[in-house]
C-alpha cells in the first residue's frame, strides 16, 4: 500500500457521510463504529502487540468524556479546549493507575484492570463532581467557525477523520524504536531488557497510549451524545472493546476496525431481533457476545483479519545512512569482565557456589562443564537477569552487582540466549534492530510525528551491516521464526553486535549448526577477537571450543574445577573425572 493512503482516506472520511441518498441510520452506525474503533486500536497496541490485557478501556474513555463535559458544560469553555484536556486526563489517569498496576504480569494485570474498572464505575456513579448516576447533560456540540456541528454527518466525518489519523499515528509508533520495544515485550521481556530496553517504560508507554486513544474516543462520544453517565464506562463496555479487538484480530490495526464494525452491526441487529424473539426487553445481546467471544477464542484465537488479508512481512528498503557512533572500546588485554566469588542459592541449593574468573579484551574465554554445572545461571548473574546471593561482578572496572539487565547492557555487554528469544511477529532485520535500541534517542512522540526517519535509517543500516557480517543479509525481510534454529542463533549474534558491545556473551552459539556453518561462526568470532572484542561463550561442542578459545574455565557443581589454555585443561584429571565420571 502506498504511503500516501491517509490523504485519500481523510478525504473519503470527510465526504462520504454527505453522499446523497445515504440513510442517516448508516451514518449513525458509522459514528458508533468509529468511536469503538479508536478504542480498539489502542487495545491492539496494548493487548495484541504489547501482551497486556485490559478490561478497563471504557473507564479511560470515561475520564476523557467527563473531563471535556465538565469544562464545556459547567464552565462554558469551548469543546475544542476539551480535546487536549480529555487526552491529557486519560493519559495522566493511566500513568497513575499504571504506576501501581503495571508491575503485575499476565492474568494478574488483567484481574487488576477488572478491579479498577468496577471501582471507577462506582466512583463515577457516586461523585458529585461528575453528577453521580445522572451524569452530566447539556454538553455543547462541537462548532466550527460559528457553525454548530449538530448534524450527525458532521460527527461521522469528524470521527472517521480521527480514526484515520489514529491509525496513521499507531502505524508510525509501531514502526519505530519504541514500537519495536513494545513488540519485544511479547517475544520475551528478558531478551528486551538484555538489549537495554526499559521494559517498564515500554509497558507504560503502551498503557498510556491506549488510554489516550480511549480518552479521545470519550471526547468524541461526549460531544456527539451531548450527555454522559457512568453506564457506557462500566466493565461490560470494557469487555466489549476487548471482544472487538479479539474478534477482529488483536495484533492488527485493521483488525480492530473490522472487529468494531462486526460487533456494532451484530449489536444493532440483536437489539432489534432479540426483544421480539424473547418477548422481553433487556441487554440480551450480551448472551450472543459471550458465545462469540468464547467461540472465536476456541476456533480462531488470532481473530478474523489474518484469515482475510494475505499478510506478508513488509519489505524494508535499506537506504545508505551515516554509520552510528561507536563507543570507546577497552584496549586489548585490559580486563573487561571480572567475576569474584559469585554465589547463587535457590533455597538450600547452591547453583553457583564460588565462581571467579576474568575476561580480557581481545580474548575468547569458554565456560564449559557438564549439564547442571551452573553455566546458564552464571550467565544470568553476569548479565543482571538474576542477582548473586554474594560475590561481585565488574564490567570495565565498574561494579555492576545488583544492576538491572538494561543498565549492564548500556555498558556494552551483549548476549545471546540458550533458548532463542526472537520476536516471532517481526522480520529478521527488525529483530536485529532491537539490539541497537540504546544507540537511538528518538522519543515516541517523534515517532508518531515521523521525525525519527533519519535515525531509523541509521539504525537499520547498522542492522543490515551486522546481518551482512554474520552472512544472513539475504534473509533480512523474512519472519524471524521462519529460519532454521541454528540460523536463529546467528540472528541473535547479529542482534547482539548491534549493541556495539565490548563484551559478547554467547550461550551455546554452535548448537544446531551444520559443519560449514560452525566454521563460518568460528571465523566470525576470530575476526571479532582480532578487533579487540572480549567474548565469553558457553558451549558443549568440544571440537568447536578447543579450536577457538584462548582459555577455558571448567565448572562442575557450581564451582570452578579447572582453568587454563585448552591443551592443559584437556589433560586435567579433575576435568576428565567430571566429564567421564572418574576412572572406571
Partner 1 sequence: MDLSILLILIQDGMVNGAIYALLALSLVLVFAVTRVILIPQGEFVSFAALTYAALDQGQAPGSLYLLGGLGIAAFLGASLRARGRALAWLAVETLLLPAVIALVTLWLAPHKHGVAVSALLSLAIVTPMGPYLYRLAFQPMAEASVLVLLIASVGVHLALSGIGLLIFGPEGTRGPPFSDAVMSFGDVIVTGQSLWILGLAALSMAGLYLFFGHTLLGAALRATAVNRLGARLVGIPIARSGLIAFALAGLIGAASGVLIAPLTTVYYDSGFLIGLKGFVAAIVGALASYPLAVAAALGVGIVESFASFWASSFKEVIVFTVIIPVLLWRSLRHSAVEDEE
**122 contacts partner 1 (rule: CB under 8 A):** yes
CA-CA-CA-CA torsion sign (257, 261, 267, 270): negative
Shortest approach of partner 1 to residue 367 CB, angstroms?
A: 23
Contact 393, 405 (CB under 8 A): no
| List 11, 12, 81, 115, residue binding partner 1 (CB under 8 A) | 115
Write the CA distances from 26 to 155, 240, 506, integer angstroms.
13, 21, 59
Locate 113 and state its grid cell: 484492570
Query: What is the smallest separation between the CB atom of 287 and partner 1, expressed in angstroms?
Result: 4
**Strand 398-399's sheet: what is its strand order?**
398-399, 390-395, 335-346, 349-360, 559-564, 551-556, 364-368, 534-538, 503-507, 413-415
The nearer residue to partner 1, 416 or 502, going by C-beta atoms, is 416
Stretch of 25-33, 74-82, 115-123, 169-177 contacting partner 1, by CB under 8 A: 115-123
| Interaxial angle between packed helices 485-497 and 515-530, expressed in degrees from 0 to 180 and rounded to the nearest 10 | 10
Q: What is the DSSP letter of 175?
A: T
**Residue 339: its H or E element:** strand 335-346
Q: Which stretch binds partner 1 (CB under 8 A): 114-122, 166-174, 470-478, 541-549?
A: 114-122
CB of residue 118 vs partner 1: minimum separation in angstroms? 5
Helix (H) or strand (E) holding 4: none
Residue count at the site for partner 1 (CB under 8 A)? 55
The DSSP secondary structure of 353-398, one letter per residue, reads EEEEEEEETT-EEEEE-STTSSHHHHHHHHHTSS--SEEEEEETTE
Candidates 2, 3, 75, 107; binder of partner 1 (CB under 8 A) is: 107
378-397 residues near partner 1, rule: CB under 8 A = 385-386
Phi/psi at 362 (nearest 5 deg)? 80, 25
| Contact indicator for 545, 368 with CB cutoff of 8 Å | yes
Minimum CB distance to partner 1, residue 117 (Å): 9
61, 233 in Cβ contact below 8 A? Answer: yes
**Which one, 63 or 289, has the nearer CB to partner 1?**
289
The site map against partner 1 for 293-332 (x = CB under 8 A) is xx--xx--x-------------------------------
| Options 34-42, 152-160, 188-196, 310-318: segment touching partner 1 (CB under 8 A) | 188-196
Which helix (H) or strand (E) element contains residue 523? helix 515-530
The region of 98-106, 176-184, 347-355, 361-369 touching partner 1 under the rule CB under 8 A is 98-106
Is residue 402 close enough to count as binding partner 1 by CB under 8 A? no
**Single residue of 6, 188, 306, 486 touching partner 1 by CB under 8 A:** 188
257-296 positions binding partner 1, by CB under 8 A:
278, 280, 282-294
Residue 481 within binding range of partner 1, rule CB under 8 A = no
Q: Which residues bind partner 1 (CB under 8 A)?
A: 51, 53, 55, 100-101, 103-108, 110-112, 114-116, 118-119, 122-123, 126, 186, 188-190, 193, 199, 236, 239, 242-243, 246, 278, 280, 282-294, 297-298, 301, 385-386, 405, 421
Amino acid at each position: 500500500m502506498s504511503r500516501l493512503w491517509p490523504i485519500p482516506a481523510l478525504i473519503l472520511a470527510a465526504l462520504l457521510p454527505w453522499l446523497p441518498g445515504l440513510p442517516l441510520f448508516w451514518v449513525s452506525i458509522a459514528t458508533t463504529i468509529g468511536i469503538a474503533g479508536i478504542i480498539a486500536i489502542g487495545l491492539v497496541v496494548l493487548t495484541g502487540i504489547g501482551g497486556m490485557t485490559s478490561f478497563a478501556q471504557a473507564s479511560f474513555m470515561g475520564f476523557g468524556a467527563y473531563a471535556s463535559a465538565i469544562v464545556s458544560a459547567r464552565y462554558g469553555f469551548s469543546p475544542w479546549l476539551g480535546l487536549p484536556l480529555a487526552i491529557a486526563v486519560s493519559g495522566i489517569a493511566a500513568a497513575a493507575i499504571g504506576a501501581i498496576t503495571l508491575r503485575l504480569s499476565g492474568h494478574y494485570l488483567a484481574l487488576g484492570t477488572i478491579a479498577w474498572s468496577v471501582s471507577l464505575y462506582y466512583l463515577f456513579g457516586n461523585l458529585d463532581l461528575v453528577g453521580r448516576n445522572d451524569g452530566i447533560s447539556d454538553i455543547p456540540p462541537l462548532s466550527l467557525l460559528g457553525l454548530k456541528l449538530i448534524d450527525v454527518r458532521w460527527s461521522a466525518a469528524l470521527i472517521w477523520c480521527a480514526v484515520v489519523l489514529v491509525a496513521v499515528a499507531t502505524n508510525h509508533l509501531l514502526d519505530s524504536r519504541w514500537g519495536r520495544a513494545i513488540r519485544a515485550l511479547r517475544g520475551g521481556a528478558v531478551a528486551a531488557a538484555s538489549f537495554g530496553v526499559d521494559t517498564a517504560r515500554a509497558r507504560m508507554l503502551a498503557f498510556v497510549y491506549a488510554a489516550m486513544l480511549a480518552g479521545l474516543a470519550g471526547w468524541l462520544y461526549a460531544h456527539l451524545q451531548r450527555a454522559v453517565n457512568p453506564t457506557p464506562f462500566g466493565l461490560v463496555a470494557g469487555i466489549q472493546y476487548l471482544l472487538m479487538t479479539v474478534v477482529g484480530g488483536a495484533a492488527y490495526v485493521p483488525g480492530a476496525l473490522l472487529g468494531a464494525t462486526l460487533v456494532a452491526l451484530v449489536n444493532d441487529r440483536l437489539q432489534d431481533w432479540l426483544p421480539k424473539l424473547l418477548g422481553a426487553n433487556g441487554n440480551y445481546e450480551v448472551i450472543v457476545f459471550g458465545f462469540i467471544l468464547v467461540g472465536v477464542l476456541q476456533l480462531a484465537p488470532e481473530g478474523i483479519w489474518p484469515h482475510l488479508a494475505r499478510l506478508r512481512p513488509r519489505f524494508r528498503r535499506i537506504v545508505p545512512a551515516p554509520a552510528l557512533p561507536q563507543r570507546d572500546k577497552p584496549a586489548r588485554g585490559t580486563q573487561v569482565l571480572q567475576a569474584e566469588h559469585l554465589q547463587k542459592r535457590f533455597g538450600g541449593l547452591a547453583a553457583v557456589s564460588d565462581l571467579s574468573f576474568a575476561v580480557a579484551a581481545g580474548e575468547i574465554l569458554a565456560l564449559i562443564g557438564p549439564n547442571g554445572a551452573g553455566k546458564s545461571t552464571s550467565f544470568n548473574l553476569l548479565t543482571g537477569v538474576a542477582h548473586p546471593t554474594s560475590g561481585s561482578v565488574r564490567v570495565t572496572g565498574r561494579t555492576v552487582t545488583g544492576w538491572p539487565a538494561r543498565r549492564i547492557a548500556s555498558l556494552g555487554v551483549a548476549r545471546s540466549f540458550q533458548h532463542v528469544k526472537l520476536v516471532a511477529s517481526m522480520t529478521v532485520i527488525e529483530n536485529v534492530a532491537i539490539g541497537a535500541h540504546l544507540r537511538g534517542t528518538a522519543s515516541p512522540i517523534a515517532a508518531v510525528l515521523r521525525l525519527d526517519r533519519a535515525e531509523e535509517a541509521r539504525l537499520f543500516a547498522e542492522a543490515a551491516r551486522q546481518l551482512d557480517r554474520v552472512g544472513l543479509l539475504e534473509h533480512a525481510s523474512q519472519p524471524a521464526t521462519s529460519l532454521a534454529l541454528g540460523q536463529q542463533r546467528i540472528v541473535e549474534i547479529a542482534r547482539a553486535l548491534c549493541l556495539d558491545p565490548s563484551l559478547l556473551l554467547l550461550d551455546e552459539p554452535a548448537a544446531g549448526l551444520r559443519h560449514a556453518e560452525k566454521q563460518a561462526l568460528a571465523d566470525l568470532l576470530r575476526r571479532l577477537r582480532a578487533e579487540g572484542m572480549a567474548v565469553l561463550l558457553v558451549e558443549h561442542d568440544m571440537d568447536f571450543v578447543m579450536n577457538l578459545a584462548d582459555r577455558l574455565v571448567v565448572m562442575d557443581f557450581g564451582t570452578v574445577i579447572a582453568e587454563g589454555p585448552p591443551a592443559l585443561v584437556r589433560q586435567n584429571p579433575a576435568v576428565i573425572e567430571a566429564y567421564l565420571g572418574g576412572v572406571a
